[in-house]
Chains A and B, each alone.
Chain A
Amino acid sequence: MKLPGLSEFSWRDVATEARLLLIGIPVFLWTMIPIYHMFLFAISPKEDAFSGKLWPDHPTLHNFGIVFKQQHYFLRDFYVQFWNSTVIAASVGVLTLVVATAAAFSISRLRVPGGRIVMNLALFTYFIPAAFLAVPMYRTMGNYGLLNNHWSLILAMVTIASPYAIWVLKQASDKLPVELDEAAVMDGATTLQIFRLVYVPLMMPSLVAIGTYAVLLAWNEYLYAFLLLSNDREITLPVALGNFLAADDSPWELLMTTGFIYALPPAAVYYAFRRYMVGGLTAGAVKS
């Protein structure tokens, strides 16, 4: 490899860098503008927010104070709704993990008769657009008498999250060597012991990814939450945010502040588990 002359080297480099920046800067702006706009509203007094300023004259945390003290008609149940979102997301995460891990173990390791058919049925559900299932699901929950009950949303979200969870977990557990189970059987382990002591520990990274996936899915869900829950003290935060739009003179600065608070936990969870998410989910999402 020849050493490039200093000036030639840097000129080529600068040109490439400039071309990359020409892509990078628009990408950065495109990504950040809606988020920055939300943040801007959260730290602006109402007059500044509505006058289209790019930075408020008097940035303030006043809006956060109003939200945390529930000092507005739209915010009177903020803590209850935050709690609802939390409980529902956590329940969906736990239930999805239980249902999907058991199913994946059964299909992949125990080779239960008909397992392949169940896997295909689950995959089929995964591909049916969620908004299409929402219409009959709403009526079904009515028939079961679960409307306006947290269980309706929890069960609906478990239904939506499990197919993908089972599929990813099955892919991961197919990769574990059969000899592991055989050796455990030789040592006299029962099926349940294999599940608990061999399978679950080995599957931990995938389980973390799937648990995170289910929790985020449930926390972020709007459509099902807004169909299945309507009582002010039962709804989750996204439904409450949607309800802000009901009034003509919506307090948008408070809406954006609440939205900002609502968006923080999933962003934090995502970045905390990014290693698992990228490895476990994108690899499984599309097999080329």
Chain B
Amino acid sequence: MAITLSGDSAMPAPPLSSRLTPAQVWGIVLLAPYLLVFLAFVVYPVCYGLWLARAPENYVALYNDPIFARAAINTLIFLVIGINIKMLIALFLSGFFAQQRPWIKWLSVIFILPWAVPSIPTILSVRFMLNPEWGVINHLIFSFTGDDGPNWLNDPTVALTMAIGVHIWKSLPFWTLILITGRLAIPHDLFEAAEVDGASWWQKFRFITWPSMQTLYVTCTLLSMIWTLGDFNSVYLLTGGGPADLTHVLATLGIRYLRLDQLSLAMASIVCAMPFVLPLVYFMMKRLSR
């Protein structure tokens, strides 16, 4: 008998063992390790976490916790403002890096460094630069103006802005790289034709580049938003959530509750984010599994 490698057989359902070809038995055996990992470290934790977060009191407690409200607003600012600025810069830079110049090629190799190196030492490096007494920035401010520089990370607005800056520094190369591949996929004769017709660069962008890239751009923006929800390092390592717990985002808030041994609150805060996360995830899955 021939081994079927593709498709389900159209036979009526006999007992399972005889219905499966040897190849399909192997298929199940080979899929088993991932299924085990998935059950033990995704399904079980998620169900257990939801069970911990089941009591309505948790949500009342969250509602009454000003730190939670602040973290939710910070997260929204991080996503809506931070990510859009980042993606606009990435779109702009993808045009810059698509230019054919030897020095731009070299610059693109350097440009990728923030993404290639681990974030911990670089974020801590920025943190020390912003140190009010010893940091290089305030030293420079002092030597130029004779005044003491501000205590950067002590102002929640500035501190959150800096955390967004660190996030952009770290992930800008990745998104620029992806947008460059999108840009290079546009047929070059379109631009040549536009050149002949005397189109300005804005017209070329508006009528050639953007229409070809908008799907990719929107997909990248949404994906970046989902992932940034989980960006723990940028905030935790730069501000630690401070001053006075005013710069937390949902990712660091969950860990803060965990450290305070309030696991059910930590889970409840994550459950609260789900109405926003799940539609985005659903949308992304539709896009990627086309």
Contacts and interface: CB of A to CB of B under 8 A. Distances in A.
Given A110-B26, A125-B42, A259-B124, A27 B181 contact: no
A204 interface: no
Interface in A234-288: 238, 241-242, 244-245, 252, 255-256, 258-260, 262-263, 266-267, 270-271, 274, 278, 282-283, 285-288
A51 interface: yes
Contact of B181 (A32, A182, A192, A283): A283
A205 B23 CA distance: 25
Given A111-B5, A136-B46, A34 B38 contact: no
Contact of A41 (B128, B233, B252): B128
A110 B219 contact: no
Contact of A156 (B38, B41, B233, B288): B41
B107 A28 contact: yes
B267 A135 contact: yes
Contacts of A262: 118, 120-121
Contacts of A38: 121-122, 125
Contacts of B143: 52
Interface stretch (B151-159, B187-195, B224-232): B224-232
A161 to B, nearest CB: 10
Interface in B15-65: 22-24, 26-28, 30-31, 33-35, 37-38, 40-42, 44-46, 48-49, 52
A14 B287 CA distance: 44
Given A103-B30, A282-B177, A51 B139 contact: yes
B117 A278 contact: no
Contact of B263 (A139, A144, A181, A191): A139
Contacts of B104: 20, 24
Contact of B34 (A52, A100, A283, A286): A100
A167 B258 CA distance: 32
Interface in A92-140: 98-100, 102-103, 105-107, 109-113, 115, 118-125, 127-140
Nearest to A223: B232
B45 A140 contact: yes
A134 B258 CA distance: 10
Given A118-B34, A124-B281, A287 B288 contact: yes
Given A133-B42, A135-B263, A286-B223, A263 B5 contact: no
Contacts of A113: 8, 24, 27
A179 to B, nearest CB: 11
Nearest to B266: A135
Interface string B93-110: 100100101011001011
Interface string B173-197: 1100110011000000000000000
B118 to A, nearest CB: 4
Which of the four size classes fits the interface of chain A? Answer: 35 or more
Given A24-B103, A155-B41, A34 B126 contact: yes
A28 B118 CA distance: 19
A27 B119 contact: no
A237 B235 CA distance: 20
Interface stretch (B66-74, B80-88, B130-138, B202-210): B130-138
Contacts of A68: none
6 contacts: A120-B289, A123-B289, A132-B229, A135-B263, A185-B5, A267-B113
Question: Lowest 10 A-B CB distances belong to which pairs?
Answer: A52-B139, A129-B230, A259-B121, A112-B27, A136-B49, A110-B27, A136-B45, A131-B251, A288-B216, A270-B116
